[in-house]
Amino acid sequence: MCLGIPGQIIEITDADRLMAMADISGVKREVSLACIATADLQALVGEWALIHVGFAMSVIDADEAAKTLEALRGLGEAQETLEAMAEGAAAVGRQTAGLTEGAQ
């Protein structure tokens, strides 16, 4: 499975090579527009696209971009919670092992 991250096309950097700058959650990256290029590349400036491994794969609307970004934030928070739970369980396991060893 591939994950596309929403990014907003903010400028065309090299029209001949179909390259543009995209803002992806505040991080600016150069991306290829080859998959979504139109006759007027400038028309893509301001548009949202799903970005995957340096390629703008498809144009999406601002509402879909916002929903996807919110879902990705939720996944990040869920991952952080799972990691904290795993760390807590590991700490309890270490404490229990230490008590068991001390009782012997």
DSSP letters spanning 9-76: EEEEEETTTTEEEEEETTEEEEEE-TTT--S-GGGGTT-EEEEETTEEEEEE-HHHHHHHHHHHHHHH
Which domains are seen in the chain, by residue range?
1-60 (2.30.30.140)
The per-residue pLDDT string of the chain (104 residues; one tens digit each, 9 = 90 and over) reads: 567 899 999 999 999 999 999 999 899 999 999 999 999 999 999 999 999 999 999 999 999 999 998 888 888 877 777 777 778 777 777 776 666 565 55
32 and 18 Cβ atoms separated by less than 8 Å: yes
What pTM did the predictor assign? 0.73
Residue 102: strand, helix, or coil: helix
